[in-house]
Amino acid sequence: MQIINKKAHWVLLLSGLLLTACNDMQQSKPTKPVTEKYTASTVLLTGKVQGTSQTVEALDGESQNVIVSAQVQEKGRYQLEVPAQTKLPIVLRSDEFISVVIDSDVTNYDINSLTTTIAARAKALGGYTRKNIVSAASDSVNAPDANKTSTGWRGDTTSQYGGWH
């Protein structure tokens, strides 16, 4: 019985040493530095506003200071000219809803209840980053998990949405 206890003791001791040595050998990955993004040139943002709002404002994503504002035109359409070297993200705000601009290459942004939900979820995930916006949008869209791929739906087309379309 005592021999078994000695063996168990040595096994535990060696296991502990091995785990400690392995832990010391692990190198932590350096965190990727967050690079600030800016608009390279003047950007014309357009889109449609849901609701009865009369104005749309572009706000600095961090300080929430107004960068530029514009009147909502007929059928809820708006146009905002954002100056060059404006720091991203930009929050587009109407009276009721918001949308977030994270990339100046995309210029059409609707402002509605869904974009507000996505923005709120992204902020709760840690802020208006591309990763958080994509994750929030994926979580906010009502699509089957099997249908959430970057290149579209893959599989038997006769079973998607209950049958052939």
* CATH at 68: 2.60.40
Where in the sequence is the domain holding 58, given as residue range(s)? 43-143
Please state, for a pLDDT cut of 70, what percent of the chain lies above it.
65
Q: What is the DSSP letter of 68?
A: E
Residues constituting the chain: 165
Residue 153 lies in a domain: no
Domain count, the chain: 1
Structure tokens at 144: 């089957």
* Per-residue confidence (pLDDT) for residue 62, from 0 to 100: 84
pLDDT range class, residue 72, cuts 50, 70, 90: very high
AA letter at 138: S
- Asked if residues 53 and 96 have their Cβ atoms less than 8 Å apart, the reply is yes
β-partners of residue 48 are: 77
Q: Is 110 exposed, middle or buried (0-12, 13-18, 19+ CB in 10 A)?
A: middle
Residue 53 lies in a domain: yes
pTM listed for this prediction:
0.68
Q: pLDDT tens, 116-165?
A: 999 999 999 999 999 999 999 988 776 665 555 554 555 555 555 555 55
